[in-house]
Amino acid sequence: MTALEDRYRGLVGKGHSTERLEFFSDAVFAIAMTLLVIDLKVPEDGHGSTWDVIVSQIPAFLAFTLSFWIIGVNWASHHRKFRLIREYNGRLITLNLGMLFLVALAPFPTSLLSVYSLETASVVLYAASVGGMSFMQWVLWTYAYRAGLVLEEVDEQMFRYISWNILPVPIVFFASIPIAFIDAHVAAYFWIVLWPFTIVMSKIQPKPKPKPKPKPTVSRESD
């Protein structure tokens, strides 16, 4: 890398405004949430009553509702974090793109889940997608804090509090993957554990690290 290239990367690779990064992220979230509804279709053959059509669309509607809620929660979490992240650099952008990749991918495992119901492959892919999305939120937040890209008001205790509240989603969905290889139905119902587990995790917050005590100063009196 030449000195000029190094200077160029230093100028454009970091900054104090995250607005464009946030606007781009919001667009990806919005498009992904909109694409979820594509699987809700009225059959063109016209066979059966309206109620038959509605009943046939229940799996697709449940998958749509679950994914819409999950993506919405991730958007809200992403929005809150970037209220605290004041700067960006190249690595933060890369991590954010990795998270957005999983957001944009979400309609595909959602479609598999609605079409193939609770088969092992569809449940595993869906759990991996949702768990990975939330895990990348944790990675993004951890890096931003460790790299000093957050507001000065965010201390170690605040960082640990936010990190702790991200963990229930990846823990529950990743834990459901090995269960799916035994019974996909049980794995899907296991996702319900997320609600009480989140409440329990919010009650059991990690204890803040004790601040080191200042060493006592010994004053020397002159003879």
pLDDT at 222: 46
pLDDT at 223: 43
pLDDT at 6: 64
Q: Name the token pair of 41.
A: 């279709």
Per-residue pLDDT of the chain (223 residues; tens, 9 = 90+): 677 666 666 666 677 788 999 999 999 999 999 998 887 777 666 666 777 777 777 888 888 898 999 999 999 999 999 999 999 998 999 999 999 999 999 999 998 888 887 889 999 999 999 999 999 999 999 999 999 999 999 999 999 999 998 999 999 999 999 999 999 999 999 999 988 888 888 777 766 665 555 555 554 444 4
Angstrom distance (rounded) from CA 6 to CA 194: 46
- If phi > 0 it is left, if psi is from -120 to 50 it is alpha, else beta; for residue 150 that is beta
DSSP 141: H
87: number of Cβ within 10 Å? 16
pLDDT at 178: 96
pLDDT at 9: 64
What does the DSSP assignment read for 12-68?
A: HSEES--HHHHHHHHHHHHHHHHHGGGG----SS--S-HHHHHHHTHHHHHHHHHHH
pLDDT at 116: 82
CB 88 within 8 A of CB 18: yes
Cα dist from 95 to 83, 125, 136, 141, whole Å? 17, 21, 7, 10
- Torsion sign across C-alpha atoms 56, 128, 163, 154: negative
